[in-house]
Structures are given as structure tokens and as C-alpha cells.
Amino acid sequence: MAKKVVTGLGKGLGALLGEGEYAVLAPNSSVRVKADTNTNIRIDSIDLNPGQPRTDFDPVALEELAQSIKTYGLIQPITVRPIEKGRYQLISGERRLRAAKLAGMTEIPAYVRSVDEIQSIQMALVENIQREDLNAIEIAVSYQRLLDECNLSQDELSEKVGKGKTTIVNYLRLLKLSKEVQIAVRDNTISMSHARVIVGFEDFEIQNKLLEEILKKNLSVHEAEALAKKIAKEVKPRRKIHVRLSDKVIAFKENFSKRIGSTVSIVKDAKGIGKITIPFKSDDELARIIETLSK
């Protein structure tokens, strides 16, 4: 009897679905076969996975893989899941799938996994995180998606992917960089250590200025840190200017405060960006506010 599919994340696909004992569904069939039995499915019946974090595929490397496939065949099957009307969604192996198309294949060996959409996203992200050729920005995006779409805490994510929490936090901070700096990290123009220096500034203009200096002068990480300290001393902290609320907003704030029985604060800046704050002093008070808002 096939082993029941394991739904927890782990350090790779093996930890997600067990080590070689999970079931494979043959195409257009409900019959389960052993996991080490490959089954061929038509390439034109496969849809790409929206959970795929990888965005860059080297065309030269793809062509080389395609030539290898023509000569030796596809050694490692892709992984898919059945969706509807005889179609499948790719879980992992997009590079292999692309190369197989280039090689002129119409069918491809595949493991077919009976998993839901969330499990598919988990599998695609975790499988790609383990790859050595995934760039730092793609890893950061993968971590963020696992947090957001799979409802994991940072501690849970650390345990699931086998990476220290500090490492994960350092990757997530890369998403606070400007587009220009993220591209430099993605393309390995600057190192992760350089990026950690740059991300110390929230202002994108300052980030880009520091990036420009690092590239122009070929600064080491130590030299970049010294420059960052110098820039920090020169930069005056921007004073936040709060705009006076309109009478309509003030009236809403007062009515809202009365409704929930708690003081409500509303602030915004000249750009219209702001926040609504509802303070509470205990779990009971929070529960009361939630109950009131739910009515």
C-alpha cells in the first residue's frame, strides 16, 4: 500500500512527501503506482506553476540541457499535479520542461502528485530554495511567499527549510532595497554583504547613491560600511509632517471611537498616507473590540 502523502514542509521534496514511498497517479487514472515508476505525460497538457520563484532561465544553459536530453534522455522526471480536464500543473522542473520542449519532445517523464494548491506552492518554493543556482532575490521572494501564502511564522519557516532565522531575516531584508539595488544583487554585481550595508537606509535615493559609489570605486564591504557611516552623519532625518484631518474624517473618528468604546487615532501625511490606530490594554479589551467590529 502506498504511503500517505505528508503535507508538512521539510528540507526538500523528500521531507515534504516522504522518502520514495509516496504514491504516483497514472495519467487519466485513479490507479496508484509505486513512486519509483515514471509515467510519461504530454508536454502540451502541462500548465506552468504560478508558485515558481525562478524568473531567469539562461538560454545558453537551456540549449545545452536540450542537447543533453537529445543524447541521453531526461534523467530526472519533473513533478506535476493533476488539475482538471486531463491537464496538469507543474510543481517543479520548469527548466527541464523548457529544455525538453527545445529538444522536440512531445511527452516527458513525470511524477504525478495528488496535492492541493497550497501544498503545490510549498513544494515548488521549497524545491527551488534548495537549488544552488537560485539568486538571492529569488530566494528572498520565495521566503516571503512561504510566509504570506502558506501562513508560516519566521520560526516555522526556519525549521521547515533548514536555515537559521538570521539567514532568513537577512534575505527578507533584501526586499526593502530599491529596484536598482535588487537587480545588482540578483545579477551578483554586488554581494549580499554589500546589500546589507545598503539596506541600512530606507531612502531609495540614498541606497542608489551608495550602490553607485560601490560600483564606481569597486568598494570592499569594509569600505562600503565606512562610506555608509559617513553618509548617515550627513543625512538629516526627515521630519514627518501630519496633515490636519478634514471635518468628515474627524466626525468619523469620534463616531468610531464611541462605537467600539476605545480611543481611535487617525494620522496622515501630505501624500495621503497614514494609519488608523486602535489601542487596547488587555486581551479582554481586544476581544471586546473584535466582537464589536464583527457585529
Whether the CB-CB separation of 236 and 203 falls below 8 Å is answered with no
For the chain, the structural domain boundaries read 13-116, 138-234, 247-294
Tell me: the pLDDT tens digits for 57-107? 778 888 988 998 888 888 788 888 888 888 888 887 888 899 999 999 999
Output the CATH code of domain 138-234.
1.10.10.2830
* 266 CB burial (10 A radius; 0-12, 13-18, 19+): middle
Burial 22-56 (b: 16+ CB within 10 A, else e): bbbbebeeeeeeebeeebebeeebbeebebbbbee
Tell me: the pLDDT tens digits for 100-157? 999 999 999 988 887 766 676 666 677 666 665 678 888 888 888 778 767 778 888 8
> Which residue blocks in 36-113 are alpha helix, DSSP H?
59-72, 94-102
CATH architecture for segment(s) 13-116 = Alpha-Beta Complex (3.90)
CA–CA gap between residue 40 and residue 248 (Å, rounded) = 64
Is 132 among the residues known to form the active site? no
CA–CA gap between residue 90 and residue 12 (Å, rounded) = 16
- The active-site residue, picked from 19, 94, 117, 254, is 94
In this prediction the pTM is 0.51
- Give the pairing of strands 274-277 and 88-92: unpaired
